[in-house]
Structure 1
Amino acid sequence: MTNPLLTDTPLPLFSQIRPEHVEPAIDQLLAEARAVVEQQLKATDRYTWKNLIEPIENIEDKLNKAWSPVSHMNSVVNSDALRAAYNACLPKLSEYATEMGQNEDLFKAYRAIAASDEYPSLDTAQKKIIQNALRDFRLSGIDLVVEKKRRFKEISQELSSLASRFEENVLDATNAWTKLLTDELELTGLPESALAQARQTAEQNGLEGWMITLQFPSYHAVMTYADNRELRREHYEAYTTRASDQGPHAGRWDNSEIMEKILALRHEKARLLGYNHYAELSLATKMAETPDDVMSFLEDLADKSWRQARRDLAELREFARVHYGTADLQPWDIGYYSEKMRQHDYQLSQEEVKAYFPVTKVLPGLFAVVERLYGLTISEIHDFDAWHPDVRFFEITDQNGELRGKFYIDLYARPKKRGGAWMDDCVGRKTIDGAVQTPVAYLTCNFTPPIAREGVSAPTDRESVASIAREGVSALTGPEPVPTGSDPALLTHDEVTTLFHEFGHGLHHMLTKVDHLGVSGINGVEWDAVELPSQFMENWCWEKDALALMSGHYRSGEPLPDALFDKMTAAKNFQAGMQMVRQLEFSLFDFRIHRDYDPDKGGRIYEILNQVREQVAVVQSPAFNRFAHGFSHIFAGGYAAGYYSYKWAEVLSSDAFSLFEEKGIFDPDTGSAFLANILEKGGSEEAMDLFVKFRGRKPTIDALLRHNGIAA
């Protein structure tokens, strides 16, 4: 049997990958990696970049390129068999990583290179890789005695397994809850697009009526538009109790014990390495220097935002009381009355806005923005292997005609696909003997898919775009409506912003000019700076000249009207105070459960969350709310004791964009400077040094507050 994960191809053979391929491939590649390390260590006693680091980098790149499609498919086309194969490999990969991190001979070899005559002649990226490696050896327990090394390895393996189980529970709980409605009156208030999606979901399940789910597009539509308050409450409870001891599936996929174990093991790991708590350990690879620095930053932002958040909520309460007679505003009412208030105060409807953001206009517009910023050309590739019919594939070339990167894009929500939006690494850039390995990214979102009209099957995105390409621009902009059943997916402005955010991550990965994997693209970038390029890209979603490139009515092609743009900008900071303190609530909660962990008291997860809510929240959650049970960013992702990074990176991105505000949003010199100093450098230099090279000074908080309409 030919194993596609062991086939030397430029891109993964997704359609050929089966669960039974996974474990044999990973076993073989791990064995090869161990053999290479052992062989290179024994081959000489005078170690160099060429005879040690480069061979190890190459074999580990081979391992990563096999594991990447497995991990990705586990997130986007999950199945029981694939999940089992994925989970079988996690402890093996964790064991290998810990084993390498605790390899005394390898550590001594790296130290020898750092102290050698060769070291001064290495380039900046190579030196940074070596320094990062020496740091990571220490963070892997290289200095521990044998018994503690063994315990460190056990902890690492168990944490890897627990994180996977946490994510699986959230996915299973999300997929498990549905509600079929047979009376359309129960869905009064929902826009036609949401009703059509609910009807299509029911049909796909062989049922008549309207089916709502916990997939985010469905949940968001109900919470924002449904007049039926009891339906909103029921949907809210189902969503906020996923994978917990509460709600309609209480105890079935309960993450409670997993969360406690994760916090306990992280604390034990930090203590083994000599840190007081996991928050200190987390900062070893971040820009922030001390836990006090992080807490001061978050509390300062909270202090500046809290009063405005209180005013935001007071105004919403008064609006709901005066206009709708609702005196007891509950969490499941916030989104609903906020949308009513937005429409009332600004005459702005999100459904009206969506009509001007068809994906067939937004995606080319996004590409046009980055072309003007960085001189790039983005072209679609139609002949490629994919994991789902909705997936599209593109390549990026620069103004010199050089191929800089390729990316897959998977835009729509569906069952068996993890929620949220993310960018991930498929292939990283490196250069061997003058040949560049082109970086490849996965860009994943969960937008509402194109909706079938009655009697017509909805086209896949690839089919609808191909049709438009064949028929020319008039297919979207001519006087006649697009034929029934072939309307493109329509994005909310928030979804447009999400797409730009993830593409910013993708550009960071793909536009790197660093030739060594350890610090090319997003590799080696301090975690609290990794969101800079992504949040930076969001700014263009609010600029009139940029919006002209990415918007147009999905049927008439009419440009976004000035009046609608003015309403959007007027409403930009609507409830900005409430939004700010909500993100600060997440950040403070994450940091405190890791900083304040006490083995004698356990995680105290909801005790600490309630303390944080008393400190910064203005909307109080009901007792059944189990938000933390679905907080995958910190329990299953890379943001443990690091969720504050979103706000810190927003300081960086706002300050960076302020230079474009001064020079012009498409100023080529400023774009070239951001490309050269941030995007192309990856993790080859300290993030603060790179920011200063671009901005000419260290960041300040002023632009962040101004962009959010918050008084300094």
Structure 2
Amino acid sequence: MAALSVVSARNGYRIFGSSVYSSLQRNIRRSKYIVLVPEIPDETPETNPLLRQSALPKYSQLTPEKCVNAIGKLVIEYESGICRLEEQLKDGGQQKNFTTVIEPLEKLTNPLDYAWSTMKNLCIVTQNEQITRAYKKLHPRVQKAKTQRFHSQPIFHAMKEINADRDKLSEVQQRVIDKCLLESRLDGIELWGYEQKHFNNTLVNLAKYKNQYREKLTKARSAFSHTITDIGIVADFPDELIKEMAVDRTNPSRGPWIVTLDPHIYNPFMKFCSDRLLRWNIWNANVTLASATSQDVNNSIEIEEIRSVRKEQAKLLGYNNFAQMSMETKMAGNVENALSMITTLRLKSKAATEKELSELQEFAAECGFEAKLELWDVPFWRQKQKESLFRIDYSDIQQYFPYPVVLQGLFNFCKEIFGITFKEATSEVDVWHPDVQFFKIYDENDSYLASFYIDPYIRQGQKLPGAWMEAACNRSKAVGTSPLSYMIFSFPKPSYQKPSLLSFHDVVALFKKFGHLLQNSLTTVPYSDVSGLTNLEWDVVDVCPHFMTCWLKDYNTIASCSSHVENGNAISEDLHNQLLKAECHMAGYDLTKELYLSALDLELYSSKEFWLDITKRVWPEYMNFPLEKQDAHPCSFSEIFCDEYPAAYFSFKWAEMIAADAFSAFLEAGLDNKISQRFRDTFLSLGGGCHPSEVFRRFRGRDPSPDALLAACGLMKPAIEKEKATRH
């Protein structure tokens, strides 16, 4: 018989949304409970490969129906297991300790997480319409199930009881308990009566306003387009951009060409469009997107509603404002620390920006531009100046980076730095496409550590574009699992008997995602709740990826990953230096813009002023241009209103700061094995099992400094050069 899922009538009905299984509802008058007896799909590990937890997925056997059936079954089993655990914990005689509470939760969570990550990966790599539709339909159902443990009073009180004997717990165990308690508190578990009802309403309203903001932004962006018929306007555009804009992609040079506000069109268009009036038109459309210029898609009201609801949410949980609440899940710890970083970087970046813009104005004048530079002019003249200064042929750069050479060079680098080896085992597994490879990772003693799939090449219409790293499985001693990851890229396909040739940005993407892979794979934390990437504070999620890309500034590293496709020569040191200088071109300007957005985000979630008044106040503190009258860019600032970075946009620069500072230790010590081992023992080993401030102190011996990030951007000399200059 199917397991019972029992839900208090006070909290309403629990609904099973999939058509694969149905619910029988039966009132039991005496207990005032609603008992739902779901019909569990008739699936077993023998008939459904997604239910085989001890084996890698058999992708050739996975169908949309099997995915839905497996997820449906696992959701029901998970919820039933949580209910059983709750009943056990209500027993006053039941001993509540880490083993009796956390380990059962790990065993319940792992099967659902593993199957769900497999289905998510299928959505990314196959773009199968049926699987994608099923995934979207199941997503809210799965998310609701996975948060059930954080809404459970018996589990929460058991955690508090365990935490009362905190001194008996290891550091990692304390992090597990802290995570569970914080998640529950932020979900309002300590609220009662009217406050709890009010809190739940704020969550409902927040979801509604976020969705409205997203829908209006999508509608506004899709409503705008500009048609170009004059071939002279696109004459200097890169071939790739012309192809993206062409109405007829089979004959892109014929035209017409459509300009949209999608970032992959808008950003390069602003760089290469020589028609100033047209640039202004497109720029103006972008900064007024979803604003008062189009009342039916104006996000102004949504901004204020989202801010108000989040403020109310924070107040109910005991915080002064949402920004303060946000810092509970950040290494920065408080708004003051985040603002301190922003302010320190601003002092250097703003002066550098003034110098950069002055030089850009002079360059434009030399080229015959007589007007004063405006915001819509900067991308175009910046691109022209960059081409003039560095004269880099990026198609020539690609010839140095055949994908197999880069990947092997990366493997060799990881062996030299971290003592790990990679062994291909593709023949042992069932993959979703012939391009996919499977690797196992071993330590210096040839002991198995982890595995990963890598799907390198673009498949137009069959695979989501971009670069992805997804953790399929975490390390867990209780379940006996080792880390498994998916590495998904959109590199050019091999052609004409030539391997895939990577751009420098492709190489950066590969190194960056390897940072995530290493952190997930080399963790020694035995609990899946805090191992690898799990439970990392938001502002340190990208530290290891940025750390890995820092190595691309080292010539020996980049040379070992390069081999010209025709003559086998490594990229020259001079060309590498030019490439690095080009990457840092107008770094002050870029940094200033990011700092402005970070400060604006924190102000919007700390202050009570109207959003436009805050924008007008913060803008001149950072930006070197006046704010245009109609500029309403917060109306399209989706990252902080309907995505994952409210009061957290500073996290991007915080992660870069931590990574640059960590990398500077290697610059100071060279490839010292002690430094490499210490990085592995801290950043890669501890993951979410140790507070990131402590992780950094154990590695660096002090708190982080923004100096290394400024040096990496070319805005000040590296500390090691200052030290040499002082000695001389």
For the aligned pair, the TM-score class normalised by the smaller chain equals 0.7 to 0.9
> Does the C-alpha gap of structure 1 residues 203 and 535 become closer, same or farther in structure 2, counting only changes over 3 Å?
same
In structure 2, the partner of 1:399 is 444
Matches within 5 A, 1:148-159: 148-156=195-203, 159=206
How far residue 113 of structure 1 moved from its aligned partner, in angstroms, is 2.4
The amino acid that maps onto 2:352 is Q
**2:672 counterpart of 1:667:** yes
**2:529 counterpart of 1:518:** yes
In structure 2, the partner of 1:698 is 703
Matches within 5 A, 1:33-432: 33-43=78-88, 44=91, 45-71=94-120, 85-93=134-142, 95-96=144-145, 99-115=148-164, 122-156=169-203, 159=206, 184-192=231-239, 194-195=241-242, 202-203=249-250, 218-229=265-276, 232=279, 236=283, 244-245=290-291, 259-380=303-424, 382=426, 393-401=438-446, 402-409=448-455, 412=458, 421-432=467-478
How far residue 186 of structure 1 moved from its aligned partner, in angstroms, is 3.5
Q: Per the alignment, in what secondary structure is the counterpart of residue 683 of structure 1? A: helix
Structure 2: distance between partners of 1:298 and 1:530: 19
How far residue 690 of structure 1 moved from its aligned partner, in angstroms, is 1.5
Moved more, 615-624 or 159-168: 159-168
TM-score, normalised relative to structure 1: 0.81
Structure 1 residue aligned with 2:516, among 493, 505, 509? 505
Contact 1:358 / 1:554 at 8 angstroms: preserved in 2?
yes
Q: Per the alignment, in what secondary structure is the counterpart of residue 430 of structure 1? A: coil
Structure 2: distance between partners of 1:234 and 1:506: 42
How far residue 263 of structure 1 moved from its aligned partner, in angstroms, is 2.9
Contact 1:589 / 1:608 at 8 angstroms: preserved in 2?
yes
Q: Per the alignment, in what secondary structure is the counterpart of residue 477 of structure 2? A: strand
Q: Per the alignment, in what secondary structure is the counterpart of residue 249 of structure 2? A: helix
How far residue 191 of structure 1 moved from its aligned partner, in angstroms, is 3.7
How far residue 553 of structure 1 moved from its aligned partner, in angstroms, is 3.5
Matches within 5 A, 1:408-487: 408-409=454-455, 412=458, 421-432=467-478, 435=480, 437-444=481-488, 450=492, 461=493, 464=494, 483=496
Moved more, 333-342 or 377-386: 377-386
> Does the C-alpha gap of structure 1 residues 618 and 73 become closer, same or farther in structure 2, counting only changes over 3 Å?
farther
In structure 2, the partner of 1:563 is 574
Structure 2: distance between partners of 1:387 and 1:239: 39
Q: Per the alignment, in what secondary structure is the counterpart of residue 518 of structure 1? A: coil
The amino acid that maps onto 2:662 is A
Contact 1:331 / 1:621 at 8 angstroms: preserved in 2?
no
Contact 1:423 / 1:442 at 8 angstroms: preserved in 2?
yes
The amino acid that maps onto 1:203 is T
How far residue 316 of structure 1 moved from its aligned partner, in angstroms, is 0.9
Contact 1:202 / 1:211 at 8 angstroms: preserved in 2?
no
- The one-character-per-residue Cα deviations of 1:502-535 (angstroms, maximum 9, x if unpaired) are 3212221222111101110122222222222122
How far residue 499 of structure 1 moved from its aligned partner, in angstroms, is 3.2
Structure 1: distance between partners of 2:462 and 2:619: 33
> Does the C-alpha gap of structure 1 residues 204 and 184 become closer, same or farther in structure 2, counting only changes over 3 Å?
closer
How far residue 340 of structure 1 moved from its aligned partner, in angstroms, is 1.7
Structure 1: distance between partners of 2:248 and 2:520: 35
- The one-character-per-residue Cα deviations of 1:468-514 (angstroms, maximum 9, x if unpaired) are xxxxxxxxxxxxxx738x563441x3443343223212221222111
Structure 2: distance between partners of 1:399 and 1:25: 38
Contact 1:175 / 1:416 at 8 angstroms: preserved in 2?
no
How far residue 294 of structure 1 moved from its aligned partner, in angstroms, is 1.9
In structure 1, the partner of 2:6 is none
The amino acid that maps onto 2:81 is V
In structure 2, the partner of 1:682 is 687
> Does the C-alpha gap of structure 1 residues 541 and 289 become closer, same or farther in structure 2, counting only changes over 3 Å?
same
How far residue 591 of structure 1 moved from its aligned partner, in angstroms, is 1.4
Q: Per the alignment, in what secondary structure is the counterpart of residue 688 of structure 1? A: helix
Structure 2: distance between partners of 1:632 and 1:575: 25
Contact 1:95 / 1:153 at 8 angstroms: preserved in 2?
no
> Does the C-alpha gap of structure 1 residues 658 and 520 become closer, same or farther in structure 2, counting only changes over 3 Å?
same
Q: Per the alignment, in what secondary structure is the counterpart of residue 680 of structure 1? A: helix
> Does the C-alpha gap of structure 1 residues 635 and 73 become closer, same or farther in structure 2, counting only changes over 3 Å?
farther
The amino acid that maps onto 1:187 is V
Contact 1:277 / 1:597 at 8 angstroms: preserved in 2?
no
Structure 2: distance between partners of 1:330 and 1:515: 55
Structure 2: distance between partners of 1:195 and 1:97: 45
How far residue 671 of structure 1 moved from its aligned partner, in angstroms, is 1.4
Contact 1:87 / 1:161 at 8 angstroms: preserved in 2?
no
Q: Per the alignment, in what secondary structure is the counterpart of residue 647 of structure 2? A: coil
The amino acid that maps onto 1:519 is V
In structure 1, the partner of 2:646 is 640
The amino acid that maps onto 2:78 is A
**2:713 counterpart of 1:708:** yes
Moved more, 36-45 or 274-283: 36-45
Moved more, 566-575 or 691-700: 566-575
**2:489 counterpart of 1:488:** no
RMSD in angstroms over aligned alpha carbons?
Answer: 3.9
Moved more, 201-210 or 286-295: 201-210
In structure 2, the partner of 1:611 is 617
How far residue 391 of structure 1 moved from its aligned partner, in angstroms, is 5.7
Q: Per the alignment, in what secondary structure is the counterpart of residue 450 of structure 2? A: strand
> Does the C-alpha gap of structure 1 residues 149 and 217 become closer, same or farther in structure 2, counting only changes over 3 Å?
same
Q: How many residues align?
A: 666
> Does the C-alpha gap of structure 1 residues 376 and 105 become closer, same or farther in structure 2, counting only changes over 3 Å?
same
How far residue 8 of structure 1 moved from its aligned partner, in angstroms, is 4.0
How far residue 583 of structure 1 moved from its aligned partner, in angstroms, is 1.1
Moved more, 514-523 or 71-80: 71-80
Identity of aligned residues (%): 29
> Does the C-alpha gap of structure 1 residues 381 and 346 become closer, same or farther in structure 2, counting only changes over 3 Å?
same
Contact 1:19 / 1:85 at 8 angstroms: preserved in 2?
yes
- The one-character-per-residue Cα deviations of 1:301-350 (angstroms, maximum 9, x if unpaired) are 21222111111112112211221425243434322221221232333454
Structure 2: distance between partners of 1:100 and 1:692: 33
The amino acid that maps onto 1:539 is C
Structure 2: distance between partners of 1:430 and 1:572: 41
Contact 1:512 / 1:680 at 8 angstroms: preserved in 2?
yes
- Rg larger in structure: 2
In structure 2, the partner of 1:470 is none
Unaligned runs of at least 5 residues, structure 2? 1-41, 718-728
> Does the C-alpha gap of structure 1 residues 387 and 190 become closer, same or farther in structure 2, counting only changes over 3 Å?
farther
Structure 2: distance between partners of 1:547 and 1:123: 41
Unaligned runs of at least 5 residues, structure 1? 451-460, 465-481
How far residue 166 of structure 1 moved from its aligned partner, in angstroms, is 6.0
Contact 1:427 / 1:441 at 8 angstroms: preserved in 2?
yes
Moved more, 683-692 or 183-192: 183-192
How far residue 609 of structure 1 moved from its aligned partner, in angstroms, is 3.2
The amino acid that maps onto 2:678 is A
Structure 2: distance between partners of 1:18 and 1:674: 42
Contact 1:19 / 1:81 at 8 angstroms: preserved in 2?
yes
**2:547 counterpart of 1:536:** yes
In structure 2, the partner of 1:573 is 584
Structure 1: distance between partners of 2:640 and 2:135: 20
Contact 2:403 / 2:499 at 8 angstroms: preserved in 1?
no
Structure 1: distance between partners of 2:625 and 2:509: 24
The answer to which structure, 1 or 2, has the higher relative contact order (CA under 8 A, 6+ apart) is: 1
> Does the C-alpha gap of structure 1 residues 181 and 379 become closer, same or farther in structure 2, counting only changes over 3 Å?
farther
